[in-house]
Amino acid sequence: MIEWVGRKTIAGYTYLASLATLFTQAVLDLVLPTQQGRRDTLWVLIRQILFTGVDALPVTTVIALLLGIIIVTQAGTQLPRLGAGGLVGGIIVVTVVRELGPLITAFIVVGRSGTAIATELGNMSVTREVVALRLMGISISRFVIMPRMVGMVLSMLCLTLYFDVVAVLGGYLVADVQLTIPFYAFVESITKALSTTDVLMTAIKGLSFGSAVAAICCYHGLAVRSSFTEVPQQTTRAMINSFVLCLLIDVVVTVPLYL
């Protein structure tokens, strides 16, 4: 039993170290300028932003609106009944902006783009495209990982902020019929409750979740060795591990605020 726990712990640390190495190399590739393959890398980055960010707008809008309706309706109808109408803004800011906005956006991105990256890189590994790139002297980190990571981080950050706005304002507009609070009072309550810390928190989470998801999905995609059956296995692992690591990061970022 102890041996098993030890083995799992070492495997966990090794896994996190591998992700950190992959991430660090991608950051180095980003900050250390080179003329090599700039245009190709930029093209991969643009495609990643289009796919992860722009193409995800419709589904993000729908989910943000639905979540917004639920939370704004609950907070806007229940709290005034309890005489805590003044807390509506605070509750919505804490729930949507600090917590659910970044988390649900991360889940959307994992489901849409994270799995797509893991599958794409997995297939590239099986068909030896990754080896072919290496043989051509093309850096896998610079050409494959870095643009996908940067694209995902930027997209995640923008989608998170977009999600927050749509969920709060859109949620109010759609749930308007049920609320007793007028719109101007609702907006005032939100703006009063919204601090720089909240915006910073949502941005930090967006950036961290984006980095974690991109690193995990690239890692698992490239971990595929020789068979197409490994691709869905690694994709599933990438998805589950992304969810777990996002929640873990959420705890690490959120808890110190309340200590």
Cα-only R_g, the chain: 21
Does 138 sit near other proteins (CB under 8 A)? yes
Round to whole Å and give the CA distance between 107 and 148: 17
Nearer residue to other proteins within complex by CB, 141 or 160 = 141
Cβ(131)–Cβ(189) under 8 Å?
Answer: no
Size of the site for other proteins (CB under 8 A): 22
| Token pair for 187 | 């907006």
Spatial contact of 37 and 146, defined as CB atoms under 8 Å apart? no
Cα diameter, the chain:
69
Q: Which is nearer to other proteins, 9 or 127 (CB)?
A: 127
Buried-exposed string 86-111: b where 16+ CB fall within 10 A, e elsewhere: ebbbbbbbebbbbbbbbbbbbbbbbe
Report 104-123 residues binding other proteins (CB under 8 A).
123
Among 143, 163, 186, 209, which residue interacts with other proteins (rule: CB under 8 A)?
143
Rounded CA-CA distance 215/17 in Å is: 11
Candidate ranges 4-12, 127-135, 197-205, 238-246; the one touching other proteins (CB under 8 A): 127-135
Interface with other proteins includes 84 (CB under 8 A)?
A: no
* Binding flag, residue 124, other proteins (CB under 8 A): yes
Binder to other proteins among 74, 139, 233, 254 (CB under 8 A)? 139
* Residue 31 is a binding residue for other proteins (CB under 8 A): no
Rule CB under 8 A: choose which of 15, 27, 30, 37 binds other proteins.
37
Using rule CB under 8 A, residue 130 touches other proteins? yes
Q: Which of 6, 11, 13, 38 binds other proteins (CB under 8 A)?
A: 38
The footprint of other proteins on residues 149-178 (CB under 8 A) is none
Residue 132 found at the interface with other proteins (CB under 8 A): yes
> What is the C-alpha to C-alpha distance for residues 101 and 75, in angstroms, rounded to an integer?
16
DSSP 34: -
Q: By CB under 8 A, tell whether 127 contacts other proteins.
A: yes
Angle between helices 146-165 and 57-81 (to 10 degrees): 40
Judge whether 107 and 174 are in contact, CB under 8 Å.
no
Min dist. Cβ of residue 136 to other proteins (A):
5
The minimum distance between CB 198 and other proteins, in angstroms, equals: 40
Footprint of other proteins on this chain (CB under 8 A)? 35-40, 123-124, 127-139, 143
